[in-house]
Amino acid sequence: MPEIFLNLAIIITKIVFFTFLVVLPLVPLSVYFERRFSAVIQDRVGPNRVGIPLTLLGMKKDFHFFGLVQPIADGLKLFLKEDFTPEHVRKAFYWMAPALTVVPALITVCVVPFGSSVSLFGHTEKLVIADIDIGPLFIFSVASLSVYGITLAGWASNSKFPFIGGVRSTAQMISYEIALGLSIIPVLLYYGDLNLSRIVQQQADHGWLLLPLWKNGTLSLPDLNTALFLIPAAIAFLIFTISIFAETNRMPFDLPECETELVGGYHTEYSSMKFAMFFMGEYAAMVIGSALIVTLFLGGWSIGFGLDAIVAKWEIFGVGIAGLIHLGCFLTKLLIFILFFILVRWTVPRFRYDQLMKLGWVVFFEAALLNVFLAALIIAAPQLTAAIIGIGAVLLVAITLAVIWVAKVSDDTVRPIPA
């Protein structure tokens, strides 16, 4: 009986720690980085004043901490604002929508491996809430639920601009979900596994998917097959990253909420904490999205270069701290990727709506599909005879050219009928 209680306590500790002490604080932190980094890109300073106001207590000097307290001030402001519900909305759905955007984003936290494992009193515990065997599938299935929140918000607001925003969000989700799912099939083929923590362990041992420069703890050049697999891996990385951008409604795909066309998009009619929950949901999705990219392509928590095996043996007072070091490494990678998200926001202008749909359906869908076959051919090559590999390669090239030709032909705009 006590065994069950112990396990339950461990699980609850993990949920509280990872969801509320790791991922949720990352949301205001990424808002802070968004504001500061955007400012720096635009030759500005950004919020650098909000700190601990010691002068109010009669001290000489305030502590600014580079404005790191700014998100707390923002949050307080949103709490204190009037929570206004317009007369014309459909109340039940209007109230449900913000929760529907936040909750799926936070649920997906449970399969992300934050670190290797921490051992305490001879008891080893993996730093992942639920170590299930369908990691990426679980994330896709739950994360795509958050579009219901946006669509419902748009519909329940009972006003035209939010409605257009909601519809756009749905269409965008449908166009990119397929590319998102197809693009990681080569990666899963390569690992032969769907368990995220085992995938990361494999990367720690044999080199990251995009940086296979070590094997079993020693630096070495990759063999021919691994090196060749870098091509489909890079294509998969590109498609997956761009699809994640679309999935999280980030620039350059933030069509559901583009201010220039739709006032505020789906959250036009929302205020106060309800608005803040949309905001939080969006940033939480961004955090989870970059966590997934880091986990699948960039080695997750592994430090790399064969250092993981060395770190794994480190102990302080009988406590295995490898997990904590790996947690730090994972969070660093995550933050760098979030900065990349922000950099993209200020580099790439927003896509036009038809361009977005075309990119999803005509380019990425086909590219991801062909990439699956390319990856399969490269993985299967050692078992096949040269003739079969040759035939496969020729077929692949032929199909690729055919697809490009079809895309080009269908691309022709409708010509006006001659008078």
Q: Which residues bind other proteins (CB under 8 A)?
A: 37, 39-45, 48, 343-344, 346-348
Half-sphere exposure of 330 (CA within 13 A, CB side): 32
In the complex with other proteins, which residue's Cβ is closer, 310 or 348?
348
In the complex with other proteins, which residue's Cβ is closer, 147 or 239?
239
- For the CB of residue 139, give the shortest distance to other proteins in the complex, in Å: 26
- For the CB of residue 419, give the shortest distance to other proteins in the complex, in Å: 14
Rounded-to-integer distance, Cα 294 and Cα 350, Å: 25
- For the CB of residue 292, give the shortest distance to other proteins in the complex, in Å: 22
- For the CB of residue 267, give the shortest distance to other proteins in the complex, in Å: 27
Contact status, residue 38 vs residue 342, Cβ threshold 8 Å: yes
In the complex with other proteins, which residue's Cβ is closer, 41 or 369?
41
Backbone angles phi, psi at 332, to 5 degrees: -60, -50
In the complex with other proteins, which residue's Cβ is closer, 45 or 384?
45
In the complex with other proteins, which residue's Cβ is closer, 113 or 232?
232
CB-CB neighbours of 280 under 10 Å: 22
Q: Which of 188, 97, 89, 77 is nearest to 137 (CA)?
A: 188
Residue whose token pair is 């032909």: 409
**Edge-to-edge strand order for the sheet containing 315-316?**
123-127, 115-120, 319-320, 315-316
- For the CB of residue 72, give the shortest distance to other proteins in the complex, in Å: 22
- For the CB of residue 27, give the shortest distance to other proteins in the complex, in Å: 22
Backbone angles phi, psi at 51, to 5 degrees: -150, -145
- For the CB of residue 39, give the shortest distance to other proteins in the complex, in Å: 7
Q: Which of 178, 179, 102 is nearest to 143 (CA)?
A: 102
Backbone angles phi, psi at 125, to 5 degrees: -130, 125
Give one word for 351, left, alpha or beta, with left for phi > 0 and alpha for psi -120 to 50: beta
In the complex with other proteins, which residue's Cβ is closer, 175 or 302?
175
- For the CB of residue 398, give the shortest distance to other proteins in the complex, in Å: 20
> In b/e form, how buried is each residue of 120-147, taking b as 16+ CB within 10 angstroms?
eeeeeebbbbeeeeebbebbbebbbebb
Contact status, residue 217 vs residue 309, Cβ threshold 8 Å: yes
In the complex with other proteins, which residue's Cβ is closer, 130 or 348?
348
- For the CB of residue 37, give the shortest distance to other proteins in the complex, in Å: 7
In the complex with other proteins, which residue's Cβ is closer, 37 or 176?
37
In the complex with other proteins, which residue's Cβ is closer, 40 or 406?
40
Residue 296 CA, chain-centre distance (Å), reads: 11
- For the CB of residue 410, give the shortest distance to other proteins in the complex, in Å: 16
As a whole number of Å, the CA-based R_g of the chain is 24
Half-sphere exposure of 336 (CA within 13 A, CB side): 10
Rounded-to-integer distance, Cα 308 and Cα 329, Å: 11
In the complex with other proteins, which residue's Cβ is closer, 44 or 160?
44
User: Both tokens of residue 351?
Assistant: 């896509």
Rounded-to-integer distance, Cα 381 and Cα 370, Å: 16
| The one-letter amino acid at 212 | P
User: Both tokens of residue 390?
Assistant: 């040759």
In the complex with other proteins, which residue's Cβ is closer, 225 or 355?
355
284: exposed, middle or buried (C-beta count within 10 Å: 0-12, 13-18, 19+)? buried
Residue whose token pair is 């409708």: 414
- For the CB of residue 45, give the shortest distance to other proteins in the complex, in Å: 5
